[in-house]
Amino acid sequence: MKITHIIWDLEEGDSDYALPKEIDVPDTLLKKGCTTDEILDWASDEYGYCICSCDIG
């Protein structure tokens, strides 16, 4: 499963050059049966920014 077409919630002046546009969701999250919200929370914690919009599939 991947998170794709990611639009990050950046503050004015922040650059998204180092942030991915797509992320592979770790198998450990999938095996736990995490919800979409839990997966997005994980991505936010992992990269330090919230996601405004994306596709998950």
Question: SS3 of 45, please?
Answer: helix
What's residue 15's pLDDT? 76
pLDDT value of position 11? 82
Per-residue model confidence (pLDDT) at position 18: 86
pTM equals 0.84
d(CA 19, CA 11): 14
| pLDDT < 70 regions, the chain | none
Q: What are the domain boundaries of the chain?
A: 2-56
36 contacts 56 by C-beta, under 8 angstroms: yes
Q: What is the pLDDT of residue 17?
A: 73
Distance of CA 33 to the CA centre of its chain: 17
